[in-house]
Amino acid sequence: MADVASVTTSAGKERPCNCNALLKASRRISQLYDTALSPCGLTANQRSILAEIRASPSIRVGKLAGVLIKDPVAFARALKPLERDGLIAVRVDPTDRHQRLIALTDTGEARLREADALWKKAQRCFEEAFDKMESPDLQRALDVLASNGIFYAIHRTLRAEPGQR
C-alpha cells in the first residue's frame, strides 16, 4: 500500500511528498537541538526567538512573528512562557498604542548566552554528522525554501489553477 504522504508522477511512480519529508526532517532536527539545549531550560524554538530579539532590540511583536515566519496568534502564545520567566519584556509601543515592543531582559540575555554555547555544540555535531561539505548547501537550500520569492511563486501557481483542490 502506498504511503499517504506520497504523490503519483505522470509515469505512475510513487514519489515522496516534499512537505511531509521536510516536516519530518524539521521535527527530527528540532528534537536533537531541543535535547542539546535542555540543560539551560530552553527549546530550539525559544532560543531562536531570543536570538532574533537580540539581533533586533525593541522589535514589534508582529514584525518579529513575520521575520520568524510564525502565525501571529500562535507566536503570541509562544512568548508567554518567555515573558513569565522574565527572559523578555513586552511593552506598549509609545508611537502606536496598538502595537507591542519586545526586548530581552538581562536574565534573557544571560540565558541566551548559556543557550548559545549549547547551540554551538549542537551545530557542530550536526555539521559533523551531515558532513561539513553538505551543510552549507543545505543551509542555502533551506534559505531558498523559506524565502518569500519561492513562497509567492508557488502560491501564485496554486491560485492560478482553478478547479484543483
DSSP state of 12: S
**Interatomic CA distance for residues 71 and 88, integer angstroms:** 19
Q: Which of 63, 60, 65, 62 is nearest to 48 (CA)?
A: 65
Q: What is the pLDDT of residues 8-54, one digit of tens each?
A: 555 667 777 888 888 888 898 899 999 999 999 999 999 999 999 99
- Give residue-wise pLDDT tens across range 74-91: 999 999 999 999 999 999
Specify the pLDDT at position 136.
Answer: 78
How far apart are alpha carbons 61 and 73 in whole angstroms?
11
Of the candidates 46, 17, 43, the residue with the CA atom closest to the CA atom of residue 32: 43
